[in-house]
Amino acid sequence: MKKYRLQADNIDKFINALEEMIDARDDMWEEEKYSNHRQMWDIKNKRYLPAKELLKEALYDFVSEVIEEE
Protein backbone atom coordinates (compact mmCIF):
# COMPACT_ATOMS: atom_id res chain seq x y z
CA MET A 1 0.00 0.00 0.00
CA LYS A 2 2.87 2.38 0.79
CA LYS A 3 4.31 2.15 -2.73
CA TYR A 4 1.03 3.32 -4.22
CA ARG A 5 0.91 6.27 -1.80
CA LEU A 6 4.39 7.40 -2.81
CA GLN A 7 3.49 7.15 -6.49
CA ALA A 8 0.27 9.07 -5.85
CA ASP A 9 2.26 11.83 -4.13
CA ASN A 10 4.54 12.13 -7.14
CA ILE A 11 1.58 12.14 -9.51
CA ASP A 12 -0.09 14.84 -7.40
CA LYS A 13 3.08 16.96 -7.53
CA PHE A 14 3.19 16.43 -11.30
CA ILE A 15 -0.44 17.45 -11.76
CA ASN A 16 -0.10 20.51 -9.52
CA ALA A 17 2.99 21.67 -11.40
CA LEU A 18 1.25 21.09 -14.73
CA GLU A 19 -1.78 23.10 -13.58
CA GLU A 20 0.46 25.97 -12.50
CA MET A 21 2.25 25.89 -15.86
CA ILE A 22 -1.06 26.02 -17.71
CA ASP A 23 -2.37 28.86 -15.52
CA ALA A 24 0.86 30.82 -15.93
CA ARG A 25 0.83 30.23 -19.69
CA ASP A 26 -2.75 31.52 -19.88
CA ASP A 27 -1.78 34.61 -17.90
CA MET A 28 1.25 35.12 -20.15
CA TRP A 29 -0.98 34.89 -23.22
CA GLU A 30 -3.38 37.48 -21.78
CA GLU A 31 -0.54 39.90 -21.09
CA GLU A 32 0.97 39.33 -24.53
CA LYS A 33 -2.42 39.88 -26.14
CA TYR A 34 -2.47 43.41 -24.69
CA SER A 35 1.23 44.00 -25.44
CA ASN A 36 2.21 43.95 -21.76
CA HIS A 37 5.53 42.29 -22.49
CA ARG A 38 7.16 43.19 -19.17
CA GLN A 39 4.34 41.53 -17.22
CA MET A 40 4.47 38.54 -19.54
CA TRP A 41 8.19 38.06 -18.87
CA ASP A 42 7.61 38.50 -15.12
CA ILE A 43 5.01 35.73 -15.15
CA LYS A 44 7.30 33.53 -17.20
CA ASN A 45 10.26 33.98 -14.86
CA LYS A 46 8.36 33.90 -11.56
CA ARG A 47 5.71 31.24 -12.23
CA TYR A 48 6.07 29.37 -15.50
CA LEU A 49 9.74 28.40 -15.38
CA PRO A 50 9.70 27.31 -11.71
CA ALA A 51 6.57 25.22 -12.37
CA LYS A 52 8.30 23.67 -15.38
CA GLU A 53 11.23 22.64 -13.18
CA LEU A 54 8.86 21.17 -10.57
CA LEU A 55 7.11 19.26 -13.33
CA LYS A 56 10.38 17.73 -14.51
CA GLU A 57 11.37 16.86 -10.94
CA ALA A 58 8.03 15.20 -10.15
CA LEU A 59 8.13 13.18 -13.36
CA TYR A 60 11.70 12.08 -12.69
CA ASP A 61 10.80 11.10 -9.10
CA PHE A 62 7.80 9.11 -10.29
CA VAL A 63 9.69 7.25 -13.00
CA SER A 64 12.63 6.56 -10.67
CA GLU A 65 10.29 5.20 -8.03
CA VAL A 66 8.56 2.90 -10.49
CA ILE A 67 11.89 1.60 -11.80
CA GLU A 68 13.20 0.97 -8.27
CA GLU A 69 10.11 -1.04 -7.38
CA GLU A 70 10.33 -3.23 -10.46
pTM: 0.81
Range of the domain at 56: 2-69
pLDDT tens readout for residues 25-61:
999 999 999 999 999 999 999 999 999 999 999 999 8
Q: What is the pLDDT of residue 1?
A: 46
Structure confidence at residue 15 (pLDDT): 94
Counting other chains too, the contacts that 2-11 makes at CB distance below 8 Å and 24 or more residues apart are 3/65, 3/69, 6/65, 7/62, 7/65, 7/66, 10/58, 10/61, 10/62, 10/65, 11/58, 11/62
pLDDT at 2 over 70: no
| pLDDT of 5 above 70 | no
Total tally of structural domains belonging to the chain: 1
